Structure 1
Amino acid sequence: MSEPTIHIGDRRVACFGELLLRLSPPTGELLLQSPALKVHVGGAEANVACSLALLGHPTTMVSTLPDSMLGRACVGELRRYGVDMDVQYASGRMGLYFLTPGAMQRASDVLYDRAGSAFATAPAASYDWPRLLAHAGWLHLSGITLAVSDASAHAALAAARAASDAGIPVSFDCNIRERLWARRFSEAPALMREMVAHANVLFGNDRDIALMLGHRFSQDQAIDRFAAAADAAFTEWPRLRRMASTARVHHSADHQEARGLCASRDGLITTDAHELKGIVDRIGTGDAFAAGLLHRLFEGAADRDALAFAMAAFCLKHSVGGDASPFRAADVDAFVTSRGFDVRR
């Protein structure tokens, strides 16, 4: 029996999480090697919202931002992508992160500066989820919101419970960031288990499932570990219908290979490996993958077609800077149907 298709009609996709600013040095430099920083608006859930909006879906970003020019600039940036904003403004600071991009054999490095932000300190009770989800046909969340603070974790879980109670499907991207969890990392397994219990689509890999279930997957091949982890996830969480991820092989910071993986209760499908050489920016690639998969599932595509589109969106995002993918469906479809590099005229 095949997995049910997903139909949300013209209802909105709601995404909940923190909008923040990413600051990074000029290309090829370390942080503060010279007194200049490039700024991008980012955030895992916001990246998904931007991609889905460009792919043609009515999308709403729910968040809390500081009542400042920085907060309002972030709202303007997402609106530029076509995302509707349902934001509350509060006192507090803007969440930041500093990215030093890797090169050759030097890995990228992230420094978080998000403690005490307006989003992190917003009480869970400040979000009226029945109102915020009134026109939603889907809710997207990530583990980053669980990691930011106790308050944001409680708010995300309240959103997932409200969606479940209203019959609204939920997608959850594990997005485990140990540095962001910091001293709260011991709380991560229980909080994530509770969140996945509400999820219909899970973006995660065998390491994420191992953390949540306390069971190590020791198969030699990445695909086999993913398949075993998916089986364990489907057994643990009855609501879960699909689990998807990418599997990378690293040759250097800017030369990698990756393939897409998607498991359902019917079995496992994969894509061919894609070579990623001369990577411009890896940040946001997983979010482009998630948005691509959801986009095609919303259109009623078969899982194999949805995975191929998701992987194309993932690959394309490596070619541009910034957190959110700027590509529309036609751009991704062109990648799926042709690997050529002729100018499209």
Structure 2
Amino acid sequence: MVGPVVCFGEMLLRLSPQGAIPLQQAGGVAIDVGGAEANVAAALASLGVPTRMLTVVPDNPLGRKAKAALGAAGSDTRFIASVPAGVGGGRIGLYWFEPPAGPIAGRVTYDRAGSSFALADPADLPFAQALEGASLLHMSGITPALGPAGVELARAAVAAAKDAGVPICFDGNYRANLWDAWDSDPRAILTELVGAATLMIGNHRDISLLLGKTFSGDGADRRREASEAAFEAFPNLQLIASTARHVEAACTHRLAGRIDLRASHWQTDEVRIENIVDRIGTGDAYAAGVIYSWLGGGDAKQMAKTGLALAALKHGVPGDMILATEEELHDFNPSGGDVRR
């Protein structure tokens, strides 16, 4: 059995207006637990991969709700630190999500400043204990985007993984709204962090940001050109996982998965996804599917297909997280189907 995957990052509560109602007119909201790294932890745990969540939440009902959601998914919550809520201790980060409706695009409004995670001191987090016996550390570019304290948290996680000899999976998850909120240098910071990673979740646009260059190819050729440039720039990097999405309408997308290795690559055919219930968290589902296959020794084709299957399934699940069994993942049918009885 593989060692646990440690997922490090901020947990959030997502608030969504009930029905296709603009936020400013909403009278009620649905509350879901999420956060990029927590989504990966929950998805992997549901597939039978042991996971540990490493984060900080306030010691109040909202923090306990977040912790309970991961516990219910099967993830180890012993390394979720709880701190007193309020002044000096912070609060849980929130984001408001208005789903797309007809010609109106979806929209995210963040309310996460001063969260318990963003205020955390790296010295107070049990990195060494959480990483003991781990097979992978999964983290993302959201943590350093939170501000200078977030950068130090991300650096501490990378240093602890290096000390423990644990490989790192880094999901770019570029959030312009967060980086633009402070005097940041995302290129320099993300380049430093990606340089320590073995696996990267990101596409040619993420690589363009890191390397400060554009790529002249088109489609799959451009993605391979970008990946080869990243492999040259980052000697530790062994795998780059990405998706290609084409939006036909708010509720109809086409999605393909891609894996680039140093010596090979594979891109799936597109899957057409109709009647989308919820797009949020689909990238995290793809990352979880790739990690699941990578831990099992899958090749580029298997990793791309598994990641795509889990991402496609997530489009039909409300909320940030997907909890899918191995059977459901292996039985994935891109064309859907009738009720199974």
Instruction: Give the structure-1-normalised TM-score.
Output: 0.94
Aligned equivalents of 1:41, 1:167: Cα separation in 2? 31
Specify the code of the residue in structure 1 equivalent to 2:251: D
Whether 2:36 is the aligned partner of 1:47: answer: no
Task: Tell me the residue number matched to 1:69.
Answer: 61
Aligned equivalents of 1:20, 1:57: Cα separation in 2? 22
Deviations 1:143-196 (A, max 9, x none): 111112221221122111221232211101000010122233741111111111
| 1:224 CA drift (Å) | 2.0
- Contact 2:265–2:300 (Cα < 8 Å) also in 1: no
Task: Tell me the residue number matched to 2:106.
Answer: 108
Aligned equivalents of 2:210, 2:242: Cα separation in 1? 16
Task: Tell me the residue number matched to 2:340.
Answer: 344
Aligned equivalents of 1:185, 1:30: Cα separation in 2? 31
Task: Tell me the residue number matched to 1:283.
Answer: 280
| 1:201 CA drift (Å) | 0.7
Kindly report the root-mean-square deviation, in angstroms, between the aligned alpha carbons of the 2 structures: 1.4
| 1:296 CA drift (Å) | 1.1
| 1:340 CA drift (Å) | 4.9
Task: Tell me the residue number matched to 1:56.
Answer: 48
| 1:218 CA drift (Å) | 3.3
The equivalences for 1:184-195 within 5 A come to 184=182, 186-195=184-193
Instruction: Give the structure-2-normalised TM-score.
Output: 0.95
| 1:46 CA drift (Å) | 0.1
| 1:339 CA drift (Å) | 3.8
Whether 2:121 is the aligned partner of 1:123: answer: yes
Task: Tell me the residue number matched to 1:180.
Answer: 178
Alignment equivalent of 1:227, drawn from 221, 224, 249 = 224
The residue matched to 1:151 in structure 2 has which SS? helix
| 1:92 CA drift (Å) | 1.3
Aligned equivalents of 2:233, 2:182: Cα separation in 1? 24
Aligned equivalents of 1:335, 1:94: Cα separation in 2? 35
Task: Tell me the residue number matched to 2:319.
Answer: 322
The equivalences for 1:150-165 within 5 A come to 150-165=148-163
The residue matched to 2:56 in structure 1 has which SS? strand
| 1:309 CA drift (Å) | 1.1
Task: Tell me the residue number matched to 1:37.
Answer: 29
The residue matched to 2:39 in structure 1 has which SS? helix
| 1:128 CA drift (Å) | 3.3
Deviations 1:77-101 (A, max 9, x none): 1100001111112221110000011
Task: Tell me the residue number matched to 2:289.
Answer: 292
- Contact 2:258–2:266 (Cα < 8 Å) also in 1: yes
The residue matched to 2:180 in structure 1 has which SS? helix
The residue matched to 2:152 in structure 1 has which SS? helix
Change (3 A) 1:111 1:185: farther
Task: Tell me the residue number matched to 1:203.
Answer: 201
Whether 2:168 is the aligned partner of 1:170: answer: yes
- Contact 1:129–1:162 (Cα < 8 Å) also in 2: yes
Specify the code of the residue in structure 1 equivalent to 2:93: G
How many residues are paired up?
A: 335
Specify the code of the residue in structure 2 equivalent to 1:238: P
| 1:297 CA drift (Å) | 1.2
Aligned equivalents of 2:278, 2:233: Cα separation in 1? 35
Identity, in percent, stands at: 42
Greater CA deviation, 307-316 or 294-303?
294-303
The residue matched to 1:260 in structure 2 has which SS? strand
Whether 2:270 is the aligned partner of 1:273: answer: yes
Task: Tell me the residue number matched to 2:133.
Answer: 135
- Contact 2:256–2:270 (Cα < 8 Å) also in 1: yes
Moved over 6 A (4+): none
